Amino acid sequence: MAFVNEQISEMDQKRINYRALKDPQTGTGIADLPRWTLDRENDVFLLGLGGGMSREDYHVPFYFLFSWKGVWMRVDAYRREVLSDGNRILIWEILKIYLPDTLLASHEHVAKLLTEALDAHGSNSYDTSRAMFKEVQVDFAQLQVAKFDLTNVMIGGNEK
């Protein structure tokens, strides 16, 4: 099954403790827009946590919760658009992935899954956002890997 963009069901919101998720920039709860990019068959999801401001001299990355088979990670990325031969191309520059120790050896597979998820995600988790782009590229050139713990995504580091 491929990734799809959809509203998060009430059942899934409870399962992932959606109301306790936080915006890493502000430390407060995330906006009440429960949408995600999901591959249910392979138990993978990508969920925006916040961030994403860019001005001339001030840049805040987008923050995502990324999960594979119930193991959570946080991803920090910049987003930019370019025009090439009249086609809009979306580029996600991955800055940092917070991985738990259990996934350090699988970081290449995690990168592949993340690339697939971001391709489906587009610029946000609405299908119309992906349709605006001829191509989505994911750039790992600046990638840093850090250790994940629940304080990366949860208010107070609560258990999920």
Determine the Cα–Cα distance for residues 124 and 69; give it in Å rounded to an integer. Answer: 22
Strands 4-7 and 135-139: unpaired
Q: pLDDT tens digits for 35-80?
A: 999 999 999 999 999 988 766 666 789 999 999 999 999 999 999 8
What percentage of the chain carries pLDDT values higher than 70?
92
pLDDT digits (tens, 9 = 90+) for 7-27: 999 999 999 999 899 988 888
Domain that holds residue 68: 4-157
Number of domains in the chain: 1
C-alpha distances in Å from residue 46, one per residue of 8, 16, 40, 86, 122: 11, 12, 11, 29, 11
